[in-house]
Amino acid sequence: MQGLPERFLQYIYKENLFNKKNKLLLAVSGGVDSVVLCKLCHICGFNFGIAHCNFQLRGEESDRDEAFVKELAERLQRPFYSVRFDTKAFAAEHKYATQEAARILRYDWFEKVRAENDYDFIVTAHHADDNIETVLMNFFRGTGIRGVSGMKPRNGKILRPLLFAKRKDLEDFQQAEGLSFVQDNSNLSNDYTRNFFRNTILPLIAQKYPEVQDNLLDNIERFKEAEILYQHAIAQYRKKLLQQNGEDIYIPVLLLQKTPAVQTILLELLRPYDFKPAQLPDILGLLYSESGKYVLSSTHRILRDRKHLILSRLQEVSSSPVVIEQPGNYVFANGTLSVKHTDATAIPTDPKVACIDASAIQFPLLLRPWRTGDYFYPLGMPKKKKLSRFFIDNKLSMADKEKVWVVEMNKKIIWVVGYRIDDRFKIKKQTTSVLRLEWK
Amino acid sequence: MQGLPERFLQYIYKENLFNKKNKLLLAVSGGVDSVVLCKLCHICGFNFGIAHCNFQLRGEESDRDEAFVKELAERLQRPFYSVRFDTKAFAAEHKYATQEAARILRYDWFEKVRAENDYDFIVTAHHADDNIETVLMNFFRGTGIRGVSGMKPRNGKILRPLLFAKRKDLEDFQQAEGLSFVQDNSNLSNDYTRNFFRNTILPLIAQKYPEVQDNLLDNIERFKEAEILYQHAIAQYRKKLLQQNGEDIYIPVLLLQKTPAVQTILLELLRPYDFKPAQLPDILGLLYSESGKYVLSSTHRILRDRKHLILSRLQEVSSSPVVIEQPGNYVFANGTLSVKHTDATAIPTDPKVACIDASAIQFPLLLRPWRTGDYFYPLGMPKKKKLSRFFIDNKLSMADKEKVWVVEMNKKIIWVVGYRIDDRFKIKKQTTSVLRLEWK
């Protein structure tokens, strides 16, 4: 077996992580792992600075760790950066678990220090055992292929050049080199679970499968490649199924249904639009629902149209026109418009319902926000009137006016939705077939 | 929650497993799971027979189980099939672990009974907990994506219509219906490990993740779809990288090296040709080796040629000609032929070496088995001679004759490998450059 520094360099080379020209910002807690990382980078002549977070979760011990890392940086004559977080307050304020809060604070701050001081990369001391434990936690908490393929040695600006090494390798090196260190902060609940897998579960399983550690590392390698192939397949479906149409994206329902793994493909296609796995049942429901049903994410709406799922940004949803190609339900910014044929020729009294002479109608109709310059023939009036005038006559507020939509056909307004139909389309004596529009 | 029979029927329908026209052969040990399977098939009016294996591993208990299942079949008025195996002897003879021996005996026999008695499918009582335990055993023993996507409800002729149900569902049903059963055979070592995960590991993990059972079932669903997408990607690489060339398959090395997951792709491409994961390092080595190196499976050879890996069936390897396009090492049925240029004009004495006048040679040469009708000008003789005659003169046995290969150029034989070169290609006084062929 080669020495740790040689294996370190080989791994960096093999994974093409960094070289001596790069400026590295090392994330150092002061524990064995990060102290060994410092030593290795020092021995190998890399150009690095040291960053330490004091989460102030363990009183004096936290301060002791900070002082220790500061001293280490001075001894190695490296730039030192540190910060103190009120982790508890941040967690409480944003309703995060403490572990999650610490993670967010840590990486945000590292990135800030990196960018401000012209470092190329943030380098962490995660090792093979960390990777195994992370995969186990993901696995039992429930995960897809991403969660079992482990941490990657390169993830954006964050590099993990110790993933090749087992905890024992690092401890042996620390002892052989006589490196001093502090005990890692272990009172985060994530660390409790981690320790549980490390100290309880894995030793038990090793009684049945003595090679369990190596087996899990092999798995990670295999799943990593499997994930690449999986992403490759997803990329092809993305290309095939997402059709840009103006500002919207159309997904053909039949084509989607024919794919061999509808749920997974749909989830992956919609992931960039902030839809969550928990919404999947609702979204799958759209495949079998009538037109007009939709599901919202924080940024997007996915709407069932006749042959497509239509994906729109919410800011565009608020004013994007809707084409009405046939009777059915159509979602627009103010709700749903239901369009159907009926024989009932009674004149409705509800302003949210419009009954018009079907023989005067040719699809498609267009449902859109009103705009300056629009005019129509208000029911019962022989002359055309500008909508702006009509609104004044009807004493609409500015806010109300902004929300008005119209239904038009061939540039003629049929209905000012919720207010008045156009006289040209009204039910006449000879009318036998009625088109009923209802705003819900 | 619906009753078990309704969920059973829904799952069968959803997974399109079988219907009332099918004849089902139920694998029944007499334990809770298989007794419930019988009852469900009975209630739902499916057409089934019952098959029971007596592995004779637990003396009287094994016989008691057999008698129990026989009686069950009589009570339900179903055809009954049983067999007794000397499992220990079979395992010893074929060097299998007992569990593995039992598995092989069981499925071989089920298939035999199925085929002889016109059953459409073999139906087993594997349930969701079995599936979880299987996945856990695979995971910790080391596996790829296949091993974490669980048992499939349909695997060829074997159907598993209870995979939707948890053990507890089956036990509740057994109690509610007052079904009698025998204790499952649990002295196979596989069952020990299974029990360890069931009774030790999973309850421990449930302390940290109370939903662990459902999480793992969700994982199985997700990995199942991920595996489909993975196989989809593999199928595309298979199409792109495997080029049929006569009886052989060519894999372009550069194209293979450019793929994003060389190891996995290579392993999957070669899996149908009986190459094993353990051979992967050797096979990967071929990507960086000189021409002529190869790796064998039980049925195939994969050979490094200049720009390709060439995959050949072993029976064709034994007589397939080898094109020699330039100096180098070439593998053929009898060993390797090394071809190189040299300045040494000494005549070799070893019959396994041929030195010929390089100026008389134009590549490519062809290395092939001799055939009837072949002739050449044996060194030192002015007249051509048939090889068949030459072999008689040299007293070759029938077996020796069968193994003779020749090197030819433009239909002229240069060398009867291991015996004599052709006079037309010998080294002459004016020869300055020599081509040296050596059979190793």
- CATH level 3 topology of B4-217: Rossmann fold (3.40.50)
* Residue range A384-398: mean pLDDT, rounded: 90
What residues does CATH 3.40.50.620 cover in chain B?
4-217
Q: Where in chain A is the domain with CATH 3.30.465?
A: 242-317
- The CA dihedral of B135, B138, B143, B149, to the nearest 10 degrees, is -20
pLDDT digits (tens, 9 = 90+) for B15-59: 999 999 999 999 999 999 999 999 999 999 999 999 999 999 888
At A419, list the tokens.
């207010």
Question: Is the pLDDT score of A150 beyond 60?
Answer: yes
Amino acid identity of A142? G
Residue A337: per-residue pLDDT: 92
CA distance A278 to chain B (A): 12
Q: Which residue among A208, A221, A223 sits closest to B193, beta carbon to beta carbon?
A: A208
Cα separation, A326 vs A7, in Å, equals 68
Q: Which residues of B touch A205 (CB under 8 A)?
A: 140, 201
Which residues of chain A are in CATH 3.50.40.10 domains? 322-439
Instruction: Say whether B223 and A260 touch across the interface (CB within 8 A).
Output: no
Asked if B139's CB is within 8 angstroms of A208's CB, the reply is no
Angstrom CA distances, B145 to A363, B149, B232, B303, stand at 51, 6, 13, 28
Q: Are B87 and B102 in contact (CB under 8 A)?
A: yes
Give the whole-angstrom CA distance, residue A439 versus residue A380. Answer: 22
Under a CB-based contact definition with an 8 Å cutoff, are residues A440 and A336 in contact? yes
Whether the CB-CB separation of B236 and B261 falls below 8 Å is answered with no
The residue in chain A having the minimum alpha-carbon distance to the alpha carbon of residue B214 is A142
Q: List chain A residues with CB under 8 Å of B258.
A: none
- The answer, yes or no, to whether residue B103 has pLDDT greater than 80, is yes
- The proportion of chain B whose per-residue pLDDT surpasses 70, expressed as a percent, equals 98
By Cβ distance, the residue of A140, A143, A264 closest to B225 is A264
Cα distance between residue A200 and residue B134, in whole Å = 21
**Minimum mean pLDDT range among A343-347, A366-370, B273-277:** A343-347
Contacts of residue A306, defined as CB under 8 A and 6 or more positions apart, other chains included, come to A291, A325, A326, A328
Answer whether residue A186 shows pLDDT above 60: no
- Tell me: pLDDT of A98 over 90: no
In this structure, what DSSP letter does residue A271 have?
G
Mutate to test the interface with A, among B137, B217, B218, B229 (most CBs of A within 10 A): B229
ipTM for this prediction: 0.72
By Cβ distance, the residue of B212, B232, B234 closest to A140 is B212
The HSE-up count of residue A172 (CA atoms within 13 Å, CB side) is 8
Residue B187 has pLDDT above 70, yes or no: no
- Smallest Cβ–Cβ distance between A260 and the set B205, B211, B228 belongs to B228
The CATH superfamily holding the domain A322-439 is Phenylalanyl-trna Synthetase, Chain B, domain 3 (3.50.40.10)
Q: Which CATH class is domain A4-209?
A: alpha beta
pLDDT score recorded for residue B211: 95
Chain B interface, best mutation among A145, A193, A239, by max B CB count within 10 A:
A145
User: If one looks up domain B242-317 in CATH, what number appears?
Assistant: 3.30.465
- pLDDT surpasses 70 at A396: yes
Provide the CB-side half-sphere exposure for A195 (13 A, CA).
9
Contact flag A209-B141 (C-beta cutoff 8 Å): yes
Structure tokens at A243: 């059709």
Binding residue positions of B for ATP:
29-34
- CA–CA distances in Å: residue B201 to residues A150, A202, A205, A207, B366: 22, 10, 8, 12, 63
Give the orientation angle of helix A98-116 with respect to helix A189-196, to 10 degrees.
110
| Omega of the bond leading into B260 within 30 degrees of 0 (cis) | no
Checking if the pLDDT of A169 tops 90, the result is: yes
Q: Nearest CA to B267 among A218, A231, A146?
A: A218
The dihedral built from the CA positions of residue A111, A115, A119 and A121, taken in this order, carries a sign that is positive
Give CA–CA dist B131/B202, Å, rounded.
13
Note whether B139 contacts A219, CB cutoff 8 Å. Answer: yes
Q: Reduce the DSSP state of residue A369 to 3 states and report it.
A: strand
Which residues of chain B does A214 touch, with a Cβ-Cβ cutoff of 8 Å? 142
Residue A226 and residue B229: Cβ atoms within 8 Å?
no
- Known binding residue A59? Answer is no
When pLDDT is averaged across residues B287-313 and rounded to a whole number, the result is 88
Q: Return the bridge partners of A27, or none.
A: A51
Backbone angles phi, psi at B275, to 5 degrees: -80, 145
Residue B55 and residue B87 in contact, taking contact as beta carbons nearer than 8 Å: yes
Q: Closest chain A residue to B262 measured between Cα atoms?
A: A225
Contact A200 B200 (CB under 8 A): no
Chain A nearest C-alpha distance from B219 (Å): 6
Find the residue in A nearest to B190 (Cα).
A208
The answer, yes or no, to whether residue B191 has pLDDT greater than 80, is: no
Euclidean distance between CA atoms B357 and B375, whole angstroms? 20
What is the overall mean pLDDT for chain A? 91
- Per the DSSP assignment, residues forming a β-bridge with A54 are A84
Is residue A41 within 8 A of residue A48, CB to CB? The reply is yes
Q: Would you call B142 and A205 a contact, using CB atoms and an 8 Å cutoff?
A: no
Neighbours of A392 (CB within 10 A): 11
Q: Which of A137, A209, A230 to mutate to test the interface with B (most CBs of B within 10 A)?
A: A230
Whether A391 shows a pLDDT value over 90: the answer reads yes
Q: Which residue of B has its CA nearest to A234?
A: B229
- Cis before B364 (ω within 30): yes
Number of residue pairs across A and B with CB atoms under 8 Å? 112
Listed as own residue / partner, the contacts of B378-386 with beta carbons closer than 8 Å and 24 or more positions apart are B378/B416, B378/B420, B378/B422, B378/B423, B379/B420, B379/B421, B379/B422, B379/B423, B379/B426, B380/B423, B381/B423, B382/B423
CA distance, residue A208 to nearest chain B CA (Å): 7
Supply A199's token pair.
């100290």
The number of CA neighbours under 13 Å toward the Cβ of B151 is 21
Minimal Cβ distance to A261: which of B216, B228, B234: B228
The reply to whether residue B140 touches residue A212, judged by beta carbons under 8 angstroms, is yes
Question: Is 60 exceeded by the pLDDT of residue A189?
Answer: no
Residue A185 has pLDDT above 60, yes or no: no
Q: Rounded to whole angstroms, how far apart are CA atoms A70 and B254?
A: 50
Are B142 and A218 in contact by the 8 Å Cβ rule? The answer is yes
What are A's interface residues with B at a Cβ cutoff of 8 A? 139-145, 148, 193, 196, 200-201, 204-205, 208-209, 211-212, 214-216, 218-219, 221-223, 225-226, 228-230, 232-234, 260-261, 263-265
Instruction: Look at residues B154, B127, B128, B149 and name the one whose alpha carbon lies nearest to residue B139.
Output: B149
Is the distance from CB of A363 to CB of A323 less than 8 angstroms?
A: no
The answer to whether A219 contacts B143, with C-beta atoms less than 8 Å apart, is yes
- A200/B201 Cβ within 8 A: no
- pLDDT band at residue A278 using 50, 70 and 90 as cut-offs: confident
Using an 8 Å CB-CB cutoff, list chain A residues near B212: 140
Residue of B nearest to A220 (CA): B144
Nearest residue, CB atoms, B226 vs list A201, A209, A264: A264
> Distance (Å, rounded) from C-alpha B356 to C-alpha B376?
15
Write down the mean pLDDT value for chain B: 91
What residue spans in chain A does CATH classification 3.40.50.620 cover?
Answer: 4-209
Residue B324 vs residues B145, B327, B356, B411, B426: alpha-carbon distances, Å? 41, 7, 15, 14, 19
* Chain position carrying tokens 């048992």: B151
Residue bearing tokens 């005019």: A375
The verdict on whether residue A33 carries a ligand-binding annotation is: yes
* Cα separation, A108 vs A96, whole angstroms: 15
Of B139, B229, B260, the CB nearest to A264: B229
The answer to whether residue A187 scores a pLDDT higher than 50 is no
Q: What are the tokens at B145?
A: 């994506």
Question: Taking CB atoms and an 8 Å limit, are A145 and B215 in contact across chains?
Answer: no
Collapsed DSSP state (helix, strand, coil) of residue B175? helix
Q: What is the DSSP letter of A269?
A: H
Q: What is the mean pLDDT of residues A222-246?
A: 93
Residue B198, token pair as written in the block: 């069931």
Provide the 3-class DSSP secondary structure of residue A332: strand
Closest CA to A38 of A128, A161, A120, A155: A161
What tens digit of pLDDT does each residue of A299-351 get? 899 999 889 999 988 876 677 788 898 898 888 888 889 999 988 878 888 98
Spell out the residues 6+ positions from residue A135 whose beta carbon is closer than 8 angstroms to its own.
A147, A148, A149, A150, A216, A219, A220
The answer, yes or no, to whether residue A294 has pLDDT greater than 70, is: yes
Give the DSSP letter of residue A364: P
Does the beta-carbon distance from B141 to A219 stay under 8 Å?
Answer: no
CA distance B135 to A133: 18
Whether residue B206 is predicted with pLDDT greater than 80 in this model: the reply is yes
Q: How many Å lie between the alpha carbon of A261 and the closest alpha carbon of chain B?
A: 5
Taking an 8 Å cut-off on Cβ atoms, the answer to whether B226 and A230 are in contact is yes
* Nearest residue of B to residue A222, measured between CA atoms: B144
For B91, other C-beta atoms within 10 Å of its C-beta total 20
Q: How confident is the model at residue A58 (pLDDT cuts 50, 70, 90)?
A: confident
